Structure 1
Amino acid sequence: MSAVDIFFNLSVLERALPMLLRGLWYTLSLGVTAIVLGSALGVMIAITRLYAPKPLRLLAVLYTDLVRAVPVLVLLILLYYALPFAGITLSSFAAAATALTMVLAAFTAEVVRSGIEATPKGQFEAASALGLGFWVTMRKVILPQAIRIVIPPHASNCVSVIKDTALASVVALSDLLKQATDAQALFANPSPLIGAALIYVAILWPLVRLTGRLERHAKRAYTR
């Protein structure tokens, strides 16, 4: 049997395609959920760290430091396998979404904090002179200016989250990797794994290139 028949068996790939597409749906759903919730939570944590009372600021620092220090796989296993001992049972999707959301929120908080701190202090003073409240100032003055700095690294973090969705197979979520391994076992051929790898590349390569373009654009805008 040739290498093509082993790794690129078109007949096996055709039969495995429905399974891979089901897994792709779970992967994309998980990635979008984590990105939306993690981004929103990260912004709130960043604002808390910068402007909340000191106890809350310390909690925000502790959260970002601890979550960034714990591997995603360890956090995922703790949520799915350890929480039931405390009477809290999460589905595989909920556990994976929670873990990825927590991790992205921690990294987003640091990125947003850097963006806000890079905004000239005079913007706050000007907003205050116009009688704008804190939340209006953040929403209409500070955050729009910080976005130019925040978007490139945040886009990179979002790409990492989509890649980390593959870890959800550890908790039996039928994501793309899980479906590919199941298909590989079912057809006794590794072609479904190659197919899954090609799907990941097809999704993530354009995002990686987009991230690079955003970084170059932000660098040019910053040096003007």
Structure 2
Amino acid sequence: MPPWLQLMLDSLLPLLRAGLIFTIPLTLLSFSLGLALGLLTAVVRLFGPKPLVAVARFYVWVIRGTPLLVQLFVIFYGLPSLGILLDAFPAALIGFTLNIGAYTSEIIRAVISSVPRGQWEAAYSIGMSWSQAMRRTILPQAARVAVPPLSNTFISLVKDTSLAAAITVPELFQTAQRIVATTYEPLILYIEAALLYLALSSVLSSLQVRLEKRFARYGGFLEART
């Protein structure tokens, strides 16, 4: 067996373990929390009082206007100067959550705004409150439109978690870096890490297509009913 292939086989288990223990949980937690934050931010920007709208706009402006890596460094290396000490994984989780929240808020705000005003009026005409109209009428329609961009954001997040290596989170990419430090074979290990990210992204892309088809059928059902 060629030495390079043996090296890839030997390093495969540590890389997979790092992905299962750190990369995937970090992705799922960050996206879930970020999506909730994004929904809250979008609702505030669309329907909130002016002071809260200004705060939400400032938050989105700052996060979208600065690099994710810089944000992670500010949280992990900068906050200790203020006496706020965070372990690497919580710091990464906070950083990715804030980042995803800003980007998903713009997606959610756009899709909610795309729902025709007549849908609000129809909901109010049958006695729904604002929250009921949002939950039962507006969000289900907006979700169908939001699936593609939110799925793309999720897939991008999987790859962006490699930036957590810069703040010492032992995820997939940093594990590859540690193996490189002992084997002195950067090309082989980094290609292997790239292939694992590619495989995961390909699986998620396939799931995205299926999810979009399901929502398209659901959308056709709604249109048929109306």
Query: What TM-score do the two structures reach when normalised by structure 2?
Result: 0.88
Which residue of structure 2 aligns with residue 95 of structure 1? 91
Which residue of structure 1 aligns with residue 198 of structure 2? 201
The answer as to whether partners of 1:76 and 1:95 remain within 8 angstroms in 2 is yes
Identify which of 10, 13, 17 aligns with 1:22: 17
* Partners of 1:195 and 1:104 in 2: CA distance: 27
* Partners of 1:99 and 1:180 in 2: CA distance: 22
2:132 corresponds to which letter in structure 1? V
* Displacement of 1:209: 5.1
1:81 corresponds to which letter in structure 2? Y
Percent sequence identity is 37
Quick check: 202-211 or 80-89, which moved more? 202-211
1:165 corresponds to which letter in structure 2? T
Identify which of 48, 55, 74 aligns with 2:51: 55
TM-align CA RMSD = 2.2
1:16 corresponds to which letter in structure 2? S
* Partners of 1:33 and 1:217 in 2: CA distance: 24
* Displacement of 1:134: 1.8
The answer as to whether partners of 1:169 and 1:178 remain within 8 angstroms in 2 is yes
The answer as to whether partners of 1:152 and 1:211 remain within 8 angstroms in 2 is yes
Change beyond 3 A, Cα 1:158–1:140: same
Q: How does 1:1-224 map to 2 (within 5 A)?
A: 5=3, 9-25=4-20, 26-190=22-186, 191-208=188-205, 211=208
Q: Per-residue CA shift, 1:182-223, capped at 9, x if unaligned?
A: 11122222322222111111001233455567779989979x
Query: What TM-score do the two structures reach when normalised by structure 1?
Result: 0.89
Aligned length: 217
Structure 2: unaligned runs, 5 residues or longer = none
* Displacement of 1:154: 1.0
The answer as to whether partners of 2:63 and 2:98 remain within 8 angstroms in 1 is yes
